[in-house]
Amino acid sequence: MARSRYAPTPSGYLHAGNLANFERVRRWMDELHGEVLLRIDDMDGPRARPDYMERIFVDLEQAGLTWGLGPRTPEEHLANYSQRLRLGEYKQALLDWGGSELLYLCSCSRKDKVCSCRDNRLSKAELPVALEVLEAGASQRKYALKIKVEDSIEVVWKDKEMGLVCLDLSKELGDFVIWRKDGIPAYQWVSLLEDSWQSITHIVRGEDLLTSTAAQLHLSKLCGLEFRQVQFWHHELLCDEQGRKLSKSVQSS
């Protein structure tokens, strides 16, 4: 059975761009007689505010956007579905995979133009200790765990709206973060795991997330997660009166 998701982030109120995204999700699943899951991406604790989270339920209801799977209320979300409850599982999945000798600790800031940390990549046996080092330094934001993207990694998929998409991940994104300096797993890792574990078959995203899709497809191939059969629909973003893209500030899905 087809399954898609609304994946709002409670770091701001939902806007027209988020709702337009969720409407596509609903429409697609209606066409395919599929089901919709609500997944609130609240891993980013400091930015996830309770009032934003509560408003998600109100806004979805007011927009007539229904879902059959996932929490029905904010309380239910916090008690059973919050991603903060699953930190251990995200970590265990990383340890089980082992990183294919592509992961490395990096303490550089964005201002550092040259980063040679990628030359010191971790074996599977070294990964548990590296994660401990990262977690110990999380309060001072010392280390992030990154993945090396080899040169000329081309990721290709067939998109519902954009047709055949071909993206050179090393050029478009380069090495990216798997576990953040503040000690929590990065969006790319959490989103991939959740989509895989929740058997998501259809994903609707704004075109600002094309590189994320490519990163996650690449990751799934490396770590053997069920994700490559997912069908994608990337769509244009809505703009406000100043022409700014609405979905940039609040990442959804």
Q: Judged by CB under 5 A, does residue 177 bind Zn ion?
A: no
DSSP state at residue 237: P
- H-helix or E-strand spanning residue 5: strand 3-6
Q: Nearest distance from residue 214's CB to Zn ion, in Å?
A: 22
- Nearest distance in Å: CB 174, Zn ion: 12
Of 108 and 238, the one with the shorter C-beta distance to Zn ion is 108
Give dist(CA 202, CA 3) in Å, integer.
Answer: 6
Rounded to the nearest whole angstrom, what is the least distance from the CB of residue 217 to Zn ion in the complex?
Answer: 25
In this complex, which beta carbon is closest to Zn ion, that of residue 117 or of residue 177?
117
224 neighbors 234 (Cβ within 8 angstroms): no
CA distance 32 to 215: 27
- Considering the complex, state which of residue 33 and residue 111 has its C-beta at the smaller distance from Zn ion: 111
The size of the interface with Zn ion (CB under 5 A), counted in residues, is 4
The nearer residue to Zn ion, 32 or 108, going by C-beta atoms, is 108
Shortest separation between residue 108's beta carbon and Zn ion, angstroms:
3
Q: Give min distance, CB of 186 to Zn ion, in A.
A: 15
- CA 29 centroid distance within chain: 21
Question: Nearest approach, Cβ of 99 to Zn ion (angstroms)?
Answer: 16
Supply the minimum distance, in Å, between the C-beta of residue 97 and Zn ion.
Answer: 22
Alpha-carbon gap, residue 222 to 224, rounded angstroms: 6
Q: Which of residues 44-73 bind Zn ion (CB under 5 A)?
A: none
Instruction: Give the footprint of Zn ion on residues 89-128 (CB under 5 A).
Output: 106, 108, 115, 117
Q: Judged by CB, which is closer to Zn ion: 144, or 193? A: 144
How many residues are listed for the chain in this entry?
A: 253
Q: Which tokens belong to 45?
A: 């604790």
Closer CB to Zn ion, 22 or 143, in the complex? 143
What whole-number distance in Å separates Cα of residue 51 and Cα of residue 49?
A: 6
Q: Is the Cβ of residue 109 or residue 139 nearer to Zn ion in the bound state?
A: 109
- Interatomic CA distance for residues 171 and 9, integer angstroms: 28
Contact 234, 206 (CB under 8 A): yes
- Of 60, 81, 61, nearest in space to 70 by CA: 81
CA angle 208, 210, 216 (to 5 degrees): 125
Interface contacts to Zn ion, rule CB under 5 A: 106, 108, 115, 117
